[in-house]
Amino acid sequence: MSHKRIAMLVGGSDLFSGMRGISKGTKLIKGAIAPHFDEVIAVNYNYFLDFGQALRRLQRYFSNMPSGTAIVLYGYSKGGDVVLQLARWLKHKYPVQLLITIDVANGPWFTASTARFPPM
């Protein structure tokens, strides 16, 4: 039996150009990796949505996945913080095959607690 393979891409916030949704870079990555996965989900983090609420939405999405679902997570900027927290939640339930974080940041609200190279 083959296990389902899912990739979750979470881009950074688009604060300064009208919240246009998925960035061009995230769309390019999604298109390039789509043939290798059963499902590729791409979202941009929304700064106008509470972080905990955003994380709970992702957790609800994954909570109904069949056991053995293989997951790859990619996060850019604030999206890196989101996928790190998601990976910590998922690791007891699903194998996170790969966690990629690029330039993890908290946008213009940078704090000392936002680690650029966070441990899993």
Distance CA 96, CA 6 (A): 10
Banded pLDDT at 1 (limits 50, 70, 90): very low
Do residues 58 and 42 make contact, with C-beta atoms less than 8 angstroms apart?
A: no
Of 38, 24, 28, 41, nearest in space to 86 by CA: 41
68 pLDDT higher than 50: yes
**Burial annotation 32-49 (CB, 10 A radius, 16+ → b, else e):** eeeeebeebebbbbebee
pLDDT cut 90: percent of the chain above it: 19
For the residues 58-67, what does the mean pLDDT come to?
Answer: 82
pTM to 2 decimal places: 0.78
